[in-house]
Structure 1
């Protein structure tokens, strides 16, 4: 058995066990997002052959090169990295999801630039990045300002507001991990209720805390090195 297969099976087993332990039902699935940044196309292809279809990238030019290499039309590409304003023109038409919308300006530009694409009829799925641990060095909406910002974001015509994303302050304590994820889940519930939204996605959890994230309702977990091995470049 290849190392890729072993890693893939191991992560999926952890997900299954976390789902069982948290008593998550089958109608509340968890999507495994393979974070392929800084990994070669060959490694993406190896996971594709095992059934993986959703891949996350953080660097625009690197991602576009991989998209050109890919013969597969059924790959779902997620942008998960920091977004510079001048990169939205490439992100908007080429990705299916963007997880890292961290300010109004970026949301406006993504909506405007999605219109230049042949898939105009398909809005861009977005998650709003929340600085859930209130770390000054991290980007993202605060839990206060999101209530003001979302009122405009929900009106942007070429975006589909799917949910929230967060990267909490690292912790090895399961209770602390769960607390941050619980706060994000409750925030989404509050926003849905106040603005009559139907957000359904919590992008949260990585290899070190996926069990806590799943227990608190994660929809998408983002796994990189634990799937691909050490980054190549």
Structure 2
């Protein structure tokens, strides 16, 4: 599906068509699904080309790389998303610099982010990352501890809990990920009922499985390779 040798503009057009088709199949509006272009390990110039094609949601996974690109690009239209694992010692560096933090996974990190938000006089929007596959190598709160963490975050006035995020186990067949996306949606729905809140955002699905995520209610899909091509590490 990824057009690795095509220009970023052509890749973006292809991704938008694929997202639109997935939305139609799911009986959803494309306006309900945000494409987040994951730019980690890609240069600022690639991000500029995406922005020129009106891709304004940009995701990053590494704090220093993200902050450097923000300074270099300095475009107020861009909504920066932090999607990578986050260490609590980095909280002060990222609060107020990102439209949405996707990877909150502990009460300790929540307190660090909240304290930084209070110090800076900002409200930071966050998602809770859930380890839907119970994989030891992945971040994310376990589902049985999710209500407790969500309640704690809701008690921190300068954090705005918007919803949930997940990274399902990897499958050669993307249909294998679909039950995990369904699980995240159910966890979100259960939380809304239990806590009496609205959590509109489900961040799930990447280049290989975003169509399955959209079928299960994703509102943010995180797409890197299909837009920017393969990464060089």
TM-score band by shorter chain is over 0.9
> Matched residues in 2 for 1:207 and 1:175: separation?
13
Q: Provide, for residues 5-56 of structure 1, a one-character-per-residue CA deviation record: whole Å limited to 9, x for no partner.
A: 1111111111000001111136x61000000111111000000000010111
Q: Provide, for residues 155-204 of structure 1, a one-character-per-residue CA deviation record: whole Å limited to 9, x for no partner.
A: 11111100000000012335422211000000000000000010000000
SS in 2 for 1:68: helix
Shift of residue 108, structure 1, vs aligned partner: 0.9
Which of 30, 36, 47 is residue 33 of structure 1 equivalent to? Answer: 36
Q: What is residue 231 of structure 1 aligned with on the other side?
A: 231
Q: What is residue 144 of structure 2 aligned with on the other side?
A: 144
> Matched residues in 2 for 1:69 and 1:232: separation?
20
Which of 4, 10, 13 is residue 6 of structure 1 equivalent to? Answer: 10
How many residue pairs get matched? Answer: 229
Q: How does 1:1-233 map to 2 (within 5 A)?
A: 3-25=7-29, 29-117=32-120, 120=121, 122-233=122-233
**Could you tell me whether the CA contact under 8 Å between 1:55 and 1:78 is conserved in 2?**
yes
> Matched residues in 2 for 1:225 and 1:178: separation?
20
Between stretches 57-66 and 191-200, larger displacement belongs to: 57-66
Which blocks of at least 5 consecutive residues in structure 2 are unaligned?
1-5
**Could you tell me whether the CA contact under 8 Å between 2:175 and 2:209 is conserved in 1?**
no
**Could you tell me whether the CA contact under 8 Å between 1:40 and 1:232 is conserved in 2?**
no
> Matched residues in 2 for 1:81 and 1:5: separation?
25
TM-score for both structures, normalised by structure 2: 0.94
Which blocks of at least 5 consecutive residues in structure 1 are unaligned?
none
Shift of residue 229, structure 1, vs aligned partner: 1.2
Moved >3 Å (runs of 4+): 172-175
- CA RMSD across the alignment: 1.6
> Matched residues in 2 for 1:172 and 1:13: separation?
23
SS in 2 for 1:144: helix
